[in-house]
Structure 1
């Protein structure tokens, strides 16, 4: 049987299959010219124009500056690994770097929950500098990630515009009182916990399957960032958007900590340059350019009614997130968690 590269990575038979297919040369061995090849992945497809802007630019800079030192093999759209396969592949050393949505991996890396913590995300969105490279919050996050041998090169310069509650014509959600009994697609653990008190039926559906789920009535609504809406053409199935900041996320590049630490100065400089560009451009490009000038106009042209939540609903939702905070604090440790929250809220 001939194994594909994807199968080799997925099933962990890397060493054996690599020797069989390449005559003893690893997929990641240095080339004859002594250049190092880094293999990177993202599960996001190009239809996510805003979200892939950053990863594309990052990889372009690696290639432009790599010279005879660095070569890059990069796979998007889950061509090499699915979203759920990326972190295990990174940990096993079968890939060198990955771009991942923070909300997908907070169960494995709880400290990343600060980027999507209900009641905190609004402040982080308004103050992206609190999560910029060199910020105390990013340093704290990386201190905790180091315990899992993970390093986040940059958070992208902040978090993306928060995820709101989008619903269909048959099951409109205009206020918190409309949530009761609704079947809602939610991915982030923190958002799921925050909405459970409203007696929803939370469902974790991959974004690629969400269009049909809305079309068939499998779900009545979803908690989405606008990139997901446009990237999957969900505006064709949605009629209402309640702009209650429910949760949020960023898409960030990750490496193994020991892999990063072992890099020579030239390699680290090339990666650091790409990460600096990503930090300065990714979040600002999405939040300040693509979203207001392209994505939201598309939503409005489709006839989606945009509803601003009442002050009462905002206060009620934020006050009700105490249980979510307590659960998260128990996972990351009270001292670390309280420091992270204080830094995110600008209280430290």
Structure 2
């Protein structure tokens, strides 16, 4: 499948900020100007029908084509939009060409992009309700999480009711397979084995999980992981298999403890104000594309996991540690405080407990 446009930029003019083809520099200038524009009552890039002045709908992600499990779903989303709205509608920027992981949601709130694909672990500190789907050992894993995050599910409805007033709307979720613990020097078979180890985590929920087991969470980008593991800067990481395979990390970690140490999703978000300004045809097309992404994109992701990623890791020198029920119970008990921490982070006990119930009941 071919992306709608390349990550080098969209060949469109966005007056009044550019009189010629738009490039990354002018987009970043627009991002910098956005707060002043908002203060003046002018939404950047807005037009009468909610699309951009030239009729474009901008989609951005930092995810690269190297993630052969995740990227096809994003392409399907774009193709669905194009089929509904026209082949020249979607301006697509991948691989962080427009906004990197830290910039994506703030940039979307400022109108730099209309739709952004973001990993939940990157933003659950700002939007704690998302953590309901990231907690360790709270359900039976991937399939249950997939049901919990399905379009129009009770959890998704509750999440959106919470997210919309904060400026973003989830229009499609792709749950990733469960996160394992990967270590360099010794396997983790019981909670105490992680004590004192420096473990890379991608989000706050994972960080609390690592701390509950006596480890020290370390934040760094996935691009830095190979060198950090090779040099001993970190002792391991929490990750789903896609990161291991896409970054070639099976060569530098020696042990993998397979259990539900956490989970996250890669979600399609829209700027709430922008979404509300679009016409019914655009809104329906976005909902349709989000459903395609959630269903067919997740199907592809899991197929790649089953047929490519898992066999590749199993065939590597990596030793996979399979835990029995008693061992899993010991990790569940040791990490139970993470749930209490998350409920406090949400700041609304009733809301948090309802979200957690929807995850467990899915």
TM-score bin (small chain): 0.7 to 0.9
| Alpha-carbon distance, 1:61 to partner | 1.8
Gapped runs of 5+ residues in structure 2?
1-22, 38-43
1:342 is displaced (CA, Å) by 0.8
Task: Single out whichever of 322-331 and 249-258 deviates more from structure 2.
Answer: 322-331
Distance in 2 (alpha carbons) for counterparts of 1:258 and 1:27: 12
- Which of 297, 300, 306 is 2:311 aligned to? 297
Corresponding position of 2:179: 163
State the partner residue of 2:325: 311
1:65-90: CA deviation from partner (whole Å, max 9, x where unpaired): 3228x711111111111100011111
Matches within 5 A, 1:261-340: 261-287=276-302, 289-332=303-346, 333-340=348-355
Query: What is the CA distance between 1:35 and its match in structure 2?
Result: 5.8
Q: CA-to-partner distance for each residue in 1:79-132, whole Å, 9 max, x for gaps?
A: 111100011111112211100000110011111111101222535643522221
Tell me which residue corresponds to 1:20.
Answer: none
Indicate whether 1:62 and 2:81 are aligned: yes
User: CA 1:314/1:83 → structure 2, altered by over 3 Å: closer, same or farther?
Assistant: same
Match of 1:7 among 25, 28, 39: 28
**Structure 1 partner of 2:66:** 47
Q: Distance in 2 between matches of 1:124 and 1:300?
A: 19
Match of 1:22 in 2: none
- Number of aligned pairs? 332
**Aligned equivalent of 1:135, options 134, 149, 153:** 153
Is 1:79 matched with 2:97? Answer: yes
For residue 182 of structure 1, the aligned residue among 183, 193, 197 is 197
- Displacement of 1:185 in angstroms is 0.7
Equivalence for 1:228: 243
Per-residue Cα deviation, 1:301-338 (whole angstroms, up to 9, x for no partner): 22211111232331122123332212221232111111
Q: Distance in 2 between matches of 1:90 and 1:127?
A: 26
- TM value normalised by structure 1: 0.88
Instruction: Work out the CA distance in 2 between the residues paired with 1:37 and 1:3.
Output: 16
| Deviation readout 1:268-288 (Å, 9 max, x if unpaired) | 12212211211211223222x
Superposition CA RMSD, Å: 2.5
Aligned pair in 2 of structure 1 residues 36, 6: CA closer, same or farther (>3 Å)? closer
Per the alignment, residue 110 of structure 1 pairs with 128
**Inter-CA distance 275–36: structure 2 relative to 1 (3 Å threshold):** same
Secondary structure, counterpart of 2:69 in structure 1: helix
What's 1:19 paired with?
none
Structure 1 unaligned runs (5+)? Answer: 17-25
CA distance in 2: counterparts of 1:52 and 1:221, whole angstroms: 26
Change (3 A) 1:87 1:174: same
Q: Report if aligned partners of 1:57, 1:278 keep a CA contact under 8 Å in 2.
A: yes
- Larger displacement relative to structure 2 (4-13 or 75-84): 4-13
CA contact (8 A) 2:125 2:203 kept: no
Q: Structure 1's 315 and 12: CA in aligned 2 closer, same or farther, altered over 3 A?
A: farther
Instruction: Give the distance between the partners of 1:3 and 1:298, measured in 2 at CA.
Output: 37
